[in-house]
């Protein structure tokens, strides 16, 4: 008996929710219809102005895209320039170390040689 009461209560709740859903759908269709009518009216009223203004807004959108591309390229350039400057600095340091070494000790150890090779590859275009 308890289960039957719960089932009846659940059925009543489902019916209420279905009714609320139907009301919400009707309200949505009504609002959509009004918005469409209003938009069509504005389209007829402002149609020529919209068409005349369209090239401006398209150009503005294109300019924004180009501006972002320019900023991205500037950041890439700055990063590449930093890497290049660091590589040149490393090469200068290695050359200075080598030239300041005693005449009988003018040999790079393998780690310095590898670092110099790596820096030279980064510094050359």
Identify the band that residue 91 occupies on the pLDDT scale cut at 50, 70 and 90. confident
User: Domain count of the chain?
Assistant: 1
Enter the tokens of residue 33: 């219809």
Per-residue burial over 20-54, b if 16 or more Cβ lie within 10 Å, else e, is eeeeeeeeeeeeeeeeeeeeeeeeeeeeeeeeeee
Question: Is-contact 94 119, C-beta < 8 A?
Answer: yes
Enter the tokens of residue 114: 């590898």
Closest among 80, 97, 103 to 116, alpha carbons compared? 97
Closest among 108, 84, 81 to 96, alpha carbons compared? 108
Q: Domain range holding 83?
A: 2-123
Distance between CA atoms of residues 118 and 91, nearest Å: 9
Which phi and psi (to 5°) does residue 109 adopt? -80, 160
pTM of whole model > 0.75? no
CA 10 to chain centre: 48
Average pLDDT over residues 54-78: 97
Average pLDDT over residues 72-97: 89
Average pLDDT over residues 57-81: 97
Check whether 104 has a pLDDT greater than 60: no
| Number of helices followed by number of strands (H, E) in the chain | 2, 0
Enter the tokens of residue 40: 């069509």
Identify the band that residue 118 occupies on the pLDDT scale cut at 50, 70 and 90. confident
């Amino acid at each position: 008996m308890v289960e039957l009461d719960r089932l009846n209560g659940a059925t009543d709740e489902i019916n209420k929710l279905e009714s609320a859903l139907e009301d919400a759908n009707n309200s949505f269709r009504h609002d959509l219809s009004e918005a469409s009518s209003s938009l069509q009216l504005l389209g007829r009223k402002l149609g020529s102005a919209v068409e005349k203004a369209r090239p401006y807004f398209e150009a503005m959108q294109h300019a924004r895209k180009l501006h972002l591309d320019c900023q991205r390229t500037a950041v890439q350039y700055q990063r590449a320039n930093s890497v290049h400057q660091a590589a040149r600095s490393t090469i200068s340091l290695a050359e200075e170390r080598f030239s300041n070494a005693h005449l009988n000790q003018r040999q790079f150890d393998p780690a310095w040689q590898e670092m110099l090779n790596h820096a030279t590859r980064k510094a050359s275009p």
